[in-house]
Amino acid sequence: MIPRWRIIPACLTLLLVSAAVFARDVEVVVRDADLFIPLEGARVFSRDGSGAVCGPDGRAVVSVSDDSSVVLQISYPGYAPLRVSVLPGTDSYTVDLSLSGMAEERELVVEASRPVSAETVSGRSVAISGGDLTRTAETGIIGDVMNAIKLLPGVGYVGGYMAMPSVRGGEPSDVTAVFDGFYVERPYHWGGAFSIFDPKMVESAQLSHGVFSTRYGHTVSGLLDIHSRQAPSESAEMELAVSSSAANMHVAFPLGKKGGISLMGKVTYWDPFVQFAKLFFEEVKYITTTPFIRSGALGAFYDFSTDLNFSVNGFFGNDGVGAHYDDNSSDRSYDANFYWDNKIGFITSALGYSPDSKSLLKVALGAGLLQSDLDGRIFSENRATTPFSVRSYNYFLRDRTINFQGRADYDRDAGNGFLFAAGLEERYSRWDRSNWIRGTKPGILPNTVEHMEQTIEILNWGISSSAYSLLEYKSENRRFGMELGIRGDHFLLAGSGFTLSGIPAVNPRINFDFLVLEETPVVDSVVFTAGTGLFSSVNGALQNISAENGISRYAQTQNRSWTTVTGTKIDFSGGLVFTLEGYFKYVFDRAYTKSDGTEIGGITVYNTNYFFDGKAIIWGFDTMLQKLDSRYWNGWISYSYINAMYQDPKSTALSRNTGGWYYPAFHRFHTLNLVANYKPVKTVNLMTRFSLASGVPIAKTAAVIPDPALFPPPYERIQVYDDNSRAGFVLPLDVKLSIFSFNKTKKTKRELYVSFENLLSLVYRAEGIKDFDENTGRETPGNSIASYDLPIPLVTFGVKWTF
């Protein structure tokens, strides 16, 4: 019999009509500033990459937001590019461009070589920006770009309170985040519940999960490329939002029409929610310090000339939580306190220079800090013994990472449709981890106390060196395109008494693009793509290696994968976009660990062994039907099928099938997402997010046996791994209602909103592992949660002003 979660849902054809909320058509006429003649072929684009090309009369029609200002970029070969701000209520613009004296290739170089532009490219990446990003990310108790990323094709469902999804079957920890070219290590609050990327500091986000460019690496799963929100150079902006769970502000102002500065800050206050939840949930009653987030970001840029520009970005965040557990009865007492504090910050700068009309050079430098502290105390007393058994422990754990990064990228227009690029990366990281435990326990002799103390310190450092080169080609009629690149990555790890030189990983990649149809009455374009390549990454667990692990100096410490992707992208004339991609990934030389516990001085010490022979075979397909912005509707529906089996040959863990092939704990076969925005009138927007996902693997109960040595006998549940044992389907449903208003000049917008998360939890909860009563030997109706979602709906309301 076919397991129910392997049956591909038959209902995948929900109709998305007319298109997006927040949209109106604006006519732009582009002319020569001296001759006032129309410039046929001029390009008009918004910041999110959408736009149009002017016809013979110099006219182009673009779809823009109808409730806020939008900046349009107008360019034409040989003319100086120009930006204009389109205010709400404006239906037409006439723009005059002046000659810049630059050759035609100059404009092509700037556009083709910008590695920071976000766009959806079949077989390589899927991007989200503009209103699609804002509306989906700013929903719920915490605004988070990952709220939108988790709804894209190829991303496995993980839940509303986890920002570390699996991308096309890869390990969640392997997804690499890049912020304007800076690699950000563990960019999360609350241990992964939310990411640090607030929507107000982000212009666009691009998830590269195919055979993406050799410009970036350090992942065998997926690359999250975040592009910062650029401050306007024409006018000042301010946005203030206050909700029932958080407050944040974004301010941006120009610097002499050649640059701009933007500032963002966020503060959460969950105290009312936690106090209310304590009335219904026993676990919440233990919270002493309400979970909090405090963060701020800075961004600035300045154009010294048309050939030289400079930018800087910075971020600092702090989050934490505290709890106190106590359990007192007639025969025992237990008391525990802990406080967890996490800090993360980085600063990065970039200098861009065009030495001639065909070249672009960019140099970037940055530094980052990550520090997590856990401070706690445990006290226990067993009154059933004579004398009483008393144990007391104090502990402190610190995890600190410091890194410095630098990279240089060079792009050269080689003519005849060819573009050459090359670059270097260097990253130094230092990991400082300490584990201190001190306490007392009953001694061997009666009425004696034994003191114990344990200190574990790890101080390692590593250097990651990378180099790449690539050649891009696009035929004159754009019917055929190719990208051929090669990348080399090397990782050196060293610490007290050891050095792992590693083996360099060489990663060639190639992509082909075929434009098979364009400009028909129904279809604007049909593109087929095919690509294949090698990738590498380093498992974060290797940062804890010590000399005692006995790893060979030249061990292959990088995870490797071979990925092949084929796909198609169809742009329909009515604003619909359809994508379909299939892929196969073979992961090899994958690092994994095996831990063995030994009791030393009353404390169990775990010895970690490292192995590098792990494998994975992953294949699947994903598809998306998207409706772009229009007057009444917009949104998308995406479906992902993922088959990912792993093998850790030396593992003895039950969840890893004791060395055999297994489905990892994060794996789901099916994930269906629906995002719909409906705007019946210009001042009302209703957003709906719905997901349907099959369950994750759970242990299967093989037998329940009594302990013959005791009477009455406590029972033990024997569990085994089984490919067909799964948790139930998850059905999250989120709804957000927004009401907008404007002042008379339409320069100030106000949004009143209320959102409801996980509404279907009122009537449905996915079944997880059942609880077990060791006294009766029976599994009880209660079960563990099957996803990172709250078991009750959560209501958030607030107001946002945009000036």
Residue 499: per-residue pLDDT: 92
Per-range mean pLDDT, top range of 290-304, 319-333, 444-458, 749-763:
290-304
Residue 636 reports pLDDT greater than 50: yes
The predicted-structure confidence for 121-178, as pLDDT tens digits, reads as follows 888 888 888 777 888 888 888 889 999 999 999 999 888 788 899 999 999 999 999 9
Residue 369: per-residue pLDDT: 96
Three-class secondary structure of residue 556 per DSSP: coil
Residue 104: per-residue pLDDT: 34
Residue 488 reports pLDDT greater than 90: yes
Write the CB contacts of 682 (distance below 8 Å, at least 6 apart in sequence).
66, 67, 740
The predicted-structure confidence for 377-394, as pLDDT tens digits, reads as follows 988 887 666 566 778 888
- pLDDT grade for 68, boundaries at 50, 70 and 90: low
Q: Where are the beta strands (DSSP E) in 304-388?
A: 308-328, 332-353, 359-382
Residue 335: per-residue pLDDT: 86
Residue 15: per-residue pLDDT: 28
In the chain, the amino acid numbered 221 is S
Residues of the chain above pLDDT 90, percent? 43
Of 362-371, 663-672, 703-712, 790-799, where does mean pLDDT reach its minimum?
Answer: 703-712
The predicted-structure confidence for 13-50, as pLDDT tens digits, reads as follows 332 223 333 456 788 888 877 666 788 878 887 655 56
Closest CA to 733 of 767, 754, 762, 753: 762
- pLDDT grade for 11, boundaries at 50, 70 and 90: very low
Q: Is the peptide bond before 387 cis (omega within 30 degrees of 0)?
A: yes
Please give the residue that has the higher pLDDT: either 19 or 340: 340
Q: How far is CA 745 from CA 629, 684, 800, in A?
A: 24, 19, 18
Which phi and psi (to 5°) does residue 73 adopt? -105, 125
Mean pLDDT, residues 50-68 taken together: 74
**pTM for the complete prediction?**
0.82
Residue 546: per-residue pLDDT: 86
Mean residue pLDDT of the chain comes to 84
Q: Are 672 and 9 in contact (CB under 8 A)?
A: yes
Token pair for residue 518?
């364009």
Residue 747: per-residue pLDDT: 74
Alpha-carbon span 234 to 266, nearest angstrom:
25
Q: Are 784 and 283 in contact (CB under 8 A)?
A: no
Please give the residue that has the higher pLDDT: either 391 or 433: 433
Q: How far is CA 742 from CA 35, 329, 798, in A?
A: 39, 61, 17
